[in-house]
Amino acid sequence: MSVLETRGLSAGYGKKVIAAAVNIAARRGQMVALLGPNGTGKTTLLATLAGLLRPLAGTVLVNGRDFASYSRLEMARQVAVVLTDRIEPGLLTAYDVVASGRYPHTDLFQRLGPADRQQIRRTMAWVSVESLTDRPFGQLSDGEKQKVLLARALVQEPQLILLDEPTGFLDPRNRMEFMSLLARLTRERGLTVLLSLHDVELALKYCQWVLLIRDGRIMAEGLAELVLTAANLRRLYGLAGTDYNELLGTWEMANDRPPELFVVGGGGSGTALYRLLTKYGYGLGSGVLHRNDLDYQAGRSMGIRLIAEEPFEPIGAAALAAARTELASAKAVLDAGFPVGSANRPNLDLIRDSLHSGKKVFSLRPAPESEGLYGAPAAAISHCGDLLELVERLNKFRDEMGE
Ligand SMILES: Nc1ncnc2c1ncn2[C@@H]1O[C@H](COP(=O)(O)OP(=O)(O)OP(=O)(O)O)[C@@H](O)[C@H]1O
């Protein structure tokens, strides 16, 4: 059975419907991400699921029972909610804020017993906020507040936690730790977590299930690996570029300039170059890359013109000819310092041809290695010790070419 289920749910304010026809189900022990553009209704939906807003239509079922029929206390034992802007801390310390989450388990006078206090301390240690115990909540940093609020939700010992964009203020380490902690809670304690996120990579890597919400409607839902496709994300966020890579789970800056430099890469040697040169405004072509190469994946997401070969096949005559044509119109060629093996050896011919025809060649290989690969003509190569030297030389070359 689903811990949380909605049937024909509409959420909004007064008569204004923000999200409609929402039918979702969150299973026990799952991390479910809610993704969608700003202002699309994620917070409104979460607040409705938490019982903070009344549904405008439809029902919310928690453990198979209409949530509207729960008493406040029963609700609090089932569902905890972390919405940062809803707390008015006054002079409360971090400890007080965490302790306030314990009320569903205290007596009539809301007195904390030794077991409650132990639970609070243990949870604060678990979320790594014990050092903040006596600090006024209002004076904490945004990331610290976020962690304290998670601790408060956890001491409530709910079955379901709803969180609104909980990682926005966290640094990378805290973001990973926060998500790992939630993942552990779902695995080890069967907790269900529904959280809104703007970070697609986190959703892909930590959440089993994702809901895409656009214009107040569920646009798609399912396994993260199946739903977080470049096409869905382009539609969800109204993106024009080809900048999300579903295999890597990363975004890339689009390079939409006509190719002026040709990068001979492969084996991951080209990816940093593509990023660097895109930021410096160079149009790029690259090849010959195997379709299973990291460079191919990165280049494809950036919209770089790529000449490709089938995975694990030696580079064939057709791909090589296509690369030669592309290369002929480039102003310069870059040897990314790719590792050379039996499948990609023909790429060396691209550099040899360029040297032979007098085209400018820049390289990230050590000069002696180039000499070994290309012989005496390697003397004409502009060898660069690192990416910084390369980009400086390229910029100079571009200036000299009158761009
Ligand atoms: N109290 C309110 N009364 C009326 N409309 C509201 C209220 N709060 C929010 N809205 C509107 O509801 C819409 C959805 O807002 P909501 O905060 O749910 O979006 P969101 O998807 O969480 O956005 P974000 O990603 O920017 O946090 C917005 O157009 C917003 O202006």
CB 13 near ligand 1, within 6 Å: yes
> Ligand 1 centre and the CA of 64: distance in Å?
28
Which residue CA neighbors atom 6 of ligand 1 most closely?
13
CB 41 near ligand 1, within 6 Å: yes
**Residue 48 contacts residue 61 (beta carbons within 8 Å):** no
Residue with tokens 């949870």: 123
Instruction: Check which CATH number belongs to the domain holding 138 and give it.
Output: 3.40.50.300
Residue 113 pLDDT: 84
Residue 247 pLDDT: 86
For the chain, the first-to-last Cα distance in angstroms comes to: 64
**Residue 276 contacts residue 391 (beta carbons within 8 Å):** yes
**Looking at the structure, do residues 83 and 43 belong to the same domain, yes or no?**
yes
Residue 330 pLDDT: 96
**Looking at the structure, do residues 56 and 164 belong to the same domain, yes or no?**
yes
**Looking at the structure, do residues 211 and 126 belong to the same domain, yes or no?**
yes
The pairing of strands 79-82 and 332-335 is unpaired
Q: Does the pLDDT value for residue 6 go beyond 90?
A: yes
Last residue of a domain, one of 239, 260, 293: 239
> Ligand 1 centre and the CA of 9: distance in Å?
16
382 Cβ contact partners less than 8 Å away, ≥ 6 residues apart: 360, 361, 362, 363, 393
DSSP code of 357?
H
**Looking at the structure, do residues 190 and 302 belong to the same domain, yes or no?**
no
* 151, amino acid identity: A
pLDDT (average), residues 237-248 = 80
233 pLDDT band, cuts 50/70/90, is very high
Q: Does the pLDDT value for residue 89 go beyond 80?
A: no
Instruction: Check which CATH number belongs to the domain holding 299 and give it.
Output: 3.40.50.720
Which residue CA neighbors atom 7 of ligand 1 most closely?
13
* 114, amino acid identity: P
105 pLDDT band, cuts 50/70/90, is confident
Residue 5 pLDDT: 95
Q: Give the C-alpha separation, 392 to 401, whole Å.
A: 14
Residue 240 pLDDT: 73
Q: How many residues does the chain have?
A: 403
CB 39 near ligand 1, within 6 Å: yes
Q: Is 286 domain-assigned?
A: yes
Q: Give the C-alpha separation, 301 to 299, whole Å.
A: 5
Q: Does the pLDDT value for residue 86 go beyond 80?
A: no
Q: What is the pLDDT of residues 296-339, one digit of tens each?
A: 999 999 999 999 999 999 999 999 999 999 999 999 999 999 99
Q: Does the pLDDT value for residue 214 go beyond 90?
A: yes
Residue 267: strand, helix, or coil:
coil
Residue 403 pLDDT: 55
Of 228, 232, 335, 223, nearest to 286 by C-alpha is: 335
Residue 95 pLDDT: 95
Last residue of a domain, one of 239, 264, 286: 239
Q: What is the pLDDT of residues 339-388, one digit of tens each?
A: 999 999 999 999 999 999 999 999 999 999 999 999 999 999 999 999 99
Residue 189: alpha-carbon gap to chain centroid: 26
**Looking at the structure, do residues 258 and 297 belong to the same domain, yes or no?**
yes
49 pLDDT band, cuts 50/70/90, is very high
- Lowest-pLDDT range, 105-114, 146-155, 257-266, 328-337? 105-114
- Lowest-pLDDT range, 3-17, 53-67, 109-123, 310-324? 109-123
Q: Give the C-alpha separation, 123 to 118, whole Å.
A: 8
The CA-based dihedral angle spanning residues 31, 36, 40, 42, taken in that order and rounded to the nearest 10 degrees: 10
Residue 91 pLDDT: 83
Q: Is 244 domain-assigned?
A: no
Residue 16: alpha-carbon gap to chain centroid: 32
Q: Give the C-alpha separation, 277 to 275, whole Å.
A: 6
Helical (H) or strand (E) element with 119: helix 114-126
**Looking at the structure, do residues 56 and 125 belong to the same domain, yes or no?**
yes
Q: Does the pLDDT value for residue 54 go beyond 60?
A: yes
Between 128 and 111, the higher pLDDT residue: 128
> What is the interface pTM, i.e. ipTM, of the complex?
0.97
> Ligand 1 centre and the CA of 77: distance in Å?
27
> Ligand 1 centre and the CA of 58: distance in Å?
20
Residue 56 pLDDT: 96
Residue 373: strand, helix, or coil:
helix
**Residue 265 contacts residue 289 (beta carbons within 8 Å):** yes
Residue 84 pLDDT: 65
CB 311 near ligand 1, within 6 Å: no
**Looking at the structure, do residues 27 and 165 belong to the same domain, yes or no?**
yes
Q: Is 144 domain-assigned?
A: yes
Q: Does the pLDDT value for residue 78 go beyond 90?
A: yes
**Looking at the structure, do residues 302 and 383 belong to the same domain, yes or no?**
yes
* Host domain of residue 300: 250-401
**Looking at the structure, do residues 261 and 232 belong to the same domain, yes or no?**
no
> Ligand 1 centre and the CA of 41: distance in Å?
6
- Lowest-pLDDT range, 28-37, 100-109, 176-185? 100-109
**Looking at the structure, do residues 13 and 147 belong to the same domain, yes or no?**
yes
114 pLDDT band, cuts 50/70/90, is confident
> Ligand 1 centre and the CA of 4: distance in Å?
22
Please count the helices (runs of H) and the strands (runs of E) in the chain. 15, 19
Rounded to the nearest 5°, which phi and psi values hold at 9?
Answer: -75, 135
* Domains identified in the chain, total number: 2
Q: Is 361 domain-assigned?
A: yes
CA-44 nearest atom, ligand 1: 18
Q: Is the dihedral of CA 9, 15, 18, 20 positive or negative?
A: positive
Strands (E), 145-238: 160-164, 192-197, 209-214, 217-223
Q: Give the C-alpha separation, 180 to 162, whole Å.
A: 16
Q: Is 245 domain-assigned?
A: no
Q: What is the pLDDT of residues 264-289, one digit of tens each?
A: 999 999 999 999 999 999 999 999 99
- Lowest-pLDDT range, 3-17, 234-248, 258-272? 234-248
Q: Which residues of 250-263 are buried (b: 16+ CB within 10 A; e: fewer)?
A: ebbebbeeebbbbb
Residue 222: strand, helix, or coil:
strand
Q: Does the pLDDT value for residue 41 go beyond 90?
A: yes
Residue 44: strand, helix, or coil:
helix
Last residue of a domain, one of 239, 266, 294: 239
395 Cβ contact partners less than 8 Å away, ≥ 6 residues apart: 280
Q: Does the pLDDT value for residue 211 go beyond 70?
A: yes
**Looking at the structure, do residues 174 and 130 belong to the same domain, yes or no?**
yes
**Looking at the structure, do residues 227 and 256 belong to the same domain, yes or no?**
no
- Lowest-pLDDT range, 90-94, 106-110, 205-209? 106-110
Q: Give the C-alpha separation, 164 to 141, whole Å.
A: 17
